[in-house]
């Protein structure tokens, strides 16, 4: 899960990259899903709200660089 947060913190790195294998892609999807679930639990947010939070943060970070 740290990988997802590192990518949000370091926006100059490619946020989305093509997985090298289907196993790697599945692992990334599972990691993102787990991160979203944690955010929902911590903030008591709905899935739609979590998506909005993530997109807003990505937009903010892109504006800084």
pTM of the entire predicted model: 0.54
Over residues 17-59, the pLDDT tens digits come to: 666 777 777 888 898 899 999 989 998 999 999 999 888 988 9
Domain ranges of the chain: 2-64
pLDDT for residue 32: 86
CA 41, 43, 27 angle in degrees (round to 5)?
50
User: Rounded to an integer, what distance in angstroms lies between the CA atom of residue 22 and that of residue 7?
Assistant: 20
């Amino acid at each position: 899960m740290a990988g997802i947060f590192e990518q949000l913190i370091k926006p100059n790195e490619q946020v989305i990259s093509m997985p090298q294998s289907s196993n790697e892609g599945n692992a990334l999807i599972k990691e993102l899903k787990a991160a979203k679930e944690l955010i929902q639990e911590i903030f008591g947010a709905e899935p739609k709200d979590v998506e909005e939070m993530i997109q807003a943060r990505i937009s903010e970070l892109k504006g800084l660089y």
